[in-house]
Amino acid sequence: MSVIADRNRCDWARTPASIAYHDTEWGVPVHDDRTLFEFVTLEGAQAGLSWETILAKRARYRAVFARFDVARVATFGERDVARLLADPGIVRNRLKIRSTIANARALLALRATEGTTFADFLWSYVDGEPLVNRPASLADVPATTPLAERLSRDLRARGFNFVGPTIVYAFMQAVGLVDDHVVSCFRCKPSARRRRGRASA
């Protein structure tokens, strides 16, 4: 998808990096475990920071976290933690670094116990199709929802970290579980059906 400067977009997409991300990724359904793990990591890393900061560091995150190969990251130990803490190209927060490793292990455990992919587990929360909202403006987009709160509780119970309800809702928006493009945005699909996921009420 090409990036066109004069299109109407969601108000948060204002810089070249955020516009490119908005136009080509945000809200696009993701069904690949590696990409989902990348977004779990990046959304958790964003806590307390701007998404612009994370986008600027994204390439380095891919490099130092083995391109988000879940099995490889799950084997990281203390030497890797020390290496990552010394890398200025990522967010050098010990808790966030450790959470990425813990989340890789939790993801592998989820696959083993559920006998399914992380993608299938996540998409079961929305019955396999994106939840389509049509907010009139950015002010109408919630910080979290009951469904995100339920998914957050489930992920934390399975050993995931940095997956509070607000982070989880941002993650759901990023990977297309939820479509929150505002009605004036060119990415809004007027013909799409509005849907509600299980336990969203």
Is residue 61 part of the annotated active site? The answer reads no
User: Running DSSP on this structure, what letter comes out for residue 193?
Assistant: P
Q: Which SS3 state, helix, strand or coil, does residue 40 take?
A: helix
Which one of the listed residues 43, 61, 123, 125 is annotated catalytic? 43
Is residue 51 part of the annotated active site? The answer reads yes
Q: Which of 1, 194, 36 is nearest to 123 (CA)?
A: 36
Which one of the listed residues 12, 51, 129, 149 is annotated catalytic? 51
Asked whether the beta carbons of 180 and 26 are under 8 A apart, the reply is: no
Is residue 129 part of the annotated active site? The answer reads no
Asked whether the beta carbons of 44 and 162 are under 8 A apart, the reply is: yes
Which one of the listed residues 21, 123, 125, 169 is annotated catalytic? 21
Inter-residue long-range contacts of 122-127, CB under 8 Å, 24+ positions, other chains counted: 122/36, 122/151, 122/175, 122/177, 123/31, 123/177, 124/198, 125/150, 125/151, 125/177, 125/197, 125/198, 125/199, 126/177, 126/178, 126/195, 126/197, 126/198, 127/195, 127/197, 127/198
Which positions are annotated as active-site residues?
Answer: 21, 43, 51
